[in-house]
Structure 1
């Protein structure tokens, strides 16, 4: 995430800001310009080409600050959401706000990487959509199928998510992490084709293994002994699909955090300076994450990045990085 500043007064901004706290200017995020721009009293912004953009209609519903092409319409990020809680579900709507924040962050990441994003309206068969579902009255299973990513909005509640994290003995669990992992399934479906299949199989294993059988094995037997030597997490040991999605998520964790650190002057090296992702990990990420972990501990918090990256995982991250470079538009 890059650093943003108000174009009117120069005050530093957070990505989620809809108003500059310094000068009071109303703001909107332009996906086309990758910038936070000022909007007028009518919620409009005129770009350099003379096109008029409008604040997304979901500003008050989900805190969306993105600009939409039509007055009273919604933005591209909101177009990706296929299902949300109904207006009578007060708890679900409150949780929906947090999920949308994470989803918009994800879309920016994918845009920065140049990855293609198509909505289901644009491409019903291969497009991407999100079902952000309230589990207040029904059971919701997080997952991906045929381009539809399902998220349990209860995961936006810190207490609930921490309870699940402890039950599953996970070192890390966040709403943004769920989005990154599940979109990894989507992009494996989209991008790992042709010659990439054999390359992926060599690293992650045979993806044709029975998925349900592997799930049953995982939850009955646990991870294989010594899994830490070849996998980034216990969950990655369940099936090659999950290993890829976990590797994809960690690629995004690392790439986005280094981007943010560079944007704020915490490191002078840009990720694009490295031709191999493992060099970025060794040269920037490991010392940076160690420092960030120590900072978190100084505040009495848990480690920011509680993971160790062994050589086989580094090879998997290199594969993801190579796949992303080859697929960028």
Structure 2
């Protein structure tokens, strides 16, 4: 019997997770931001057409990462045969599953010499058993970064606005609030920016992949830039080109011309100017896509 390929393993694991969650290809496509046709190929690897060299295309890691995020597992768990041990030699424990803590590996042991449920329990660090607080919520500590009690969420307005990340143009530029998206308060505060100026918008196109996926959500921060000297080439900006909203990085050409730069090599840069005299305005920047973009993109992608 031939050994299953990674494509076969991914198909088996993905189908199992979809069945347990009650997902269809359409619902998974909506949750992951991956096209339904692509998901169908992942579930049916035999349909993939080999290249001219005879090699069968493999899954893109960025898409495997997005699928794993939907089900709360690590990307490599989707590519590991069921029941196979991890690279550490220990059985794989999926998030949300139960395990026997007395038989599990413990890198930071705090067990006593006896079973914790025994009346004769003797902790290794004292004669009396530890007293655990019964307070259900220790509260959020302001300006402390990621809170120890990270259960508080804040709503961010979701706008029916799509920023073009491909061809110039937009699907809809009516700034209509269509809902709210919940973010962890600790994450929003870690950005150290006014939260009231943050909005959720969506991408339209693939020119900023792999950082921004087509139809993927983005956390937009309203922050107009009027001084070209303050433009950072690693920052992802939201730009209004005479009423057409695009999301790009900005670079300066050798002659001083500002260029709108895509991350996808299939989309060449173009000058940030309009021949019809309409305004070009930098209206803000993207903080999250769901990549953390507060400090810009990796220079190797530019």
**What TM-score results when the alignment is normalised by the length of structure 2?**
0.29
Between the two structures, name the one with larger relative contact order (CA 8 Å, sep ≥ 6).
1
Whichever of the two has the greater Rg, that structure is 2
Greater per-residue strand proportion: 2
Greater per-residue helix proportion: 1
**What TM-score results when the alignment is normalised by the length of structure 1?**
0.27
